[in-house]
Amino acid sequence: MVEWRMPGIVLSARRYGEGDLVVNVLTEEMGRHAGLVHGGGAKRNRASFEVGNRLDCSWAARLNEHLGTYRAEMIDSAAAGIMHDPDRLAALASLCALIDTALPEREPAPGLYAAMNVWLDQLQSEHWAALLVRIELGLLEILGFGLDLSSCAVTGETDALTHVSPKSGRAVSATAAEPYLERLLPLPGFLIGSGAADEAAIVAGLQLSGHFLERRVFNVHNWTLPPQRALLVQRMQRRMREG
């Protein structure tokens, strides 16, 4: 018998049979890990397995490669504090869906787990959207496709970085970018400590991370970005227009 117990963040919960759930959680040591929750789909239990919930998880299986079963107690619910805010709810659904799809199963991701916990703690603060963009870029790095925003790919300059090459993922300075503006992706200043994280910058950040997630991760596997993320981008674009 193989067993472990540790905190986890619910990434997804899918019905299995009549009243069970297959739940994926993000843990510090086990990464993204699935398990069967007997009776998890029952009305009295379903709320415990909403995405973003933090659980005290106990997993057991006869062999390590088996799906195994979870027993879990809720620590707290991220969604409970933002039920009035559809933008934050969309962000929560989007980030959980991205990680659930892109992160390989059972590979430790302690940095991502720590970042996700910080974000959940800050979800009701004004910094939630900027942190979300940073976590998406961090996910790219964990998957081996991190961007290089430290210096200009053309000149080597470290100042006035304004764009990113959509092919190389490297930053480009304002001077070097000038002849190619239509081909480059805007680099929001807040990602390099030189600008505010306003609505326009957040949208630019989501478009930047989304481009490379789609190009380098999802397209390779013939996947599409989760619909939850498209909804988030739509909502943030609306905020930008209304702002």
| Predicted confidence (pLDDT) at residue 93 exceeds the cutoff of 80 | yes
| pLDDT tens column, 192-208 | 999 899 999 999 999 99
| Predicted confidence (pLDDT) at residue 39 exceeds the cutoff of 90 | yes
Q: Are strands 161-164 and 54-61 parallel, antiparallel or unpaired?
A: unpaired
Q: What percent of the chain has pLDDT over 70?
A: 100
| CATH 2.40.50.140 domain span(s) along the chain | 2-77
Q: How much is the average pLDDT of 87-112?
A: 97
Which residues share a beta bridge with 17? none
Reported confidence tier of residue 191, pLDDT bands at 50, 70, 90: very high
Q: What percent of the chain has pLDDT over 90?
A: 95
In the numeric block, which tokens belong to residue 121?
Answer: 């703690």
From CA 99, how far away is CA 11, in angstroms rounded?
7
Q: 167 phi and psi, to 5 degrees? A: -95, -50
Q: How much is the average pLDDT of 137-141?
A: 98
pLDDT for res 86: 96
pLDDT for res 85: 96
Q: How much is the average pLDDT of 80-89?
A: 96
Which residues share a beta bridge with 60? 3, 69
Question: Exposure of 45 by Cβ count < 10 A (0-12 exposed, 13-18 middle, 19+ buried)?
Answer: middle
**Which class does domain 2-77 fall in?**
mainly beta
CB 205 within 8 A of CB 191: yes
DSSP assignment of 73-102 equals: EEEE-TGGG-TT-HHHHHHHHHHHHHHHHH
Cα dist. 1→62, 69, 107 in Å? 4, 12, 21
| Predicted confidence (pLDDT) at residue 64 exceeds the cutoff of 80 | yes
* SS3 state of residue 119: helix
| Predicted confidence (pLDDT) at residue 243 exceeds the cutoff of 80 | no
From CA 100, how far away is CA 103, in angstroms rounded?
6
| pLDDT tens column, 24-38 | 999 999 999 999 999
pLDDT for res 102: 97
Reported confidence tier of residue 242, pLDDT bands at 50, 70, 90: confident
pLDDT for res 206: 98
From CA 101, how far away is CA 99, in angstroms rounded?
5
Mean pLDDT of the chain: 96
